[in-house]
Every structure is written in C-alpha cells, then in structure tokens.
C-alpha cells in the first residue's frame, strides 16, 4: 500500500523553478537599477551576510525592511535554526503578481483539490498500490 505522502508529493501543485539567483545575478540586477557598480553591489551583499551574522550572534533578530525579519531560535535538541518571517505586504505582492498559469505551475489543475482527491488520483493511476487511508 502506498503512503498518503506519496500521492500528495506526486499530485500537489509545484512551482516550476528556473534555478537559483546567485550573488552575481543579484549584484548585476542591483547595478542596473541603482547608483552602485556591480562590484559595490557584490560587496554590499557580502557585507549584509556578515552584518546579519553579527547581530544574530549578539542575540538580536534582523529586520530586512520591505522583506521581513530573520529570527534565530533553538530547538529542544540544542541546535540553532534560522527562519524568515516574511512581511504580509511582501507576500501579498508575490501572490498577486506571480504568473500562476500552467506554464509556471506543475499540476496546476490540482489547485484547490483536497488530499482525499489526490489519493483518488493515485488510486486511479496505481490500482495495484492503493493509498493507505486511516
């Protein structure tokens, strides 16, 4: 029997990504839109990482104006974790401006479907390996 997570993993909507924007991409973008040279933009990005590390190590969360807040925490196992608490306005802008067409979303036709509906899709496609249902 298939696990429910197998069906969800296969049929859930996923964004089709184009890769990762790295420091060179970001600094080039910044240089085109600001008074910074690409070298200055690269240095700024590197300096930002150092500054964030400094304040987090000094027990201060780091506010990223217009984006959100970096928050350092610790788990029960004693390991540190870092999260980004995204500002509502930033997320709303992404949500309203993102192209949510079938060209950018894999399994776009499954947006709004319940997990049970995805289990049914799996069962239809895998009659010899039905989803375990509690």
**pLDDT tens digit string along 74-133?**
999 999 999 999 999 999 999 999 999 889 999 999 999 999 999 999 999 999 999 999
Q: 86, 67 in Cβ contact below 8 A?
A: yes
Show Cβ contacts of residue 132 under 8 Å, excluding neighbours closer than 6 positions.
Answer: 1, 2, 3, 4
Summarize pLDDT for 19-52 with one digit per residue, the tens.
999 999 999 999 999 999 999 999 999 999 999 9
């Amino acid at each position: 029997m298939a696990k429910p997570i197998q069906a969800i993993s296969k049929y859930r909507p996923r964004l089709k990504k184009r890769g990762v924007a790295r420091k060179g991409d970001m600094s080039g973008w910044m240089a085109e839109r600001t008074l910074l040279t690409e070298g200055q933009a690269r240095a700024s990005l590197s300096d930002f990482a150092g500054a964030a590390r400094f304040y987090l190590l000094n027990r201060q969360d780091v506010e990223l104006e217009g984006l959100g807040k970096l928050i350092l925490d610790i788990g029960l196992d004693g390991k540190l974790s870092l999260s980004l608490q995204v500002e509502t306005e930033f997320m709303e802008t992404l949500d309203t401006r993102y192209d949510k067409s079938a060209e950018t979303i894999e399994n776009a036709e499954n947006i709004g479907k319940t997990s049970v509906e995805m289990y049914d899709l799996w069962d239809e496609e895998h009659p010899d390996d039905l989803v375990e249902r509690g």
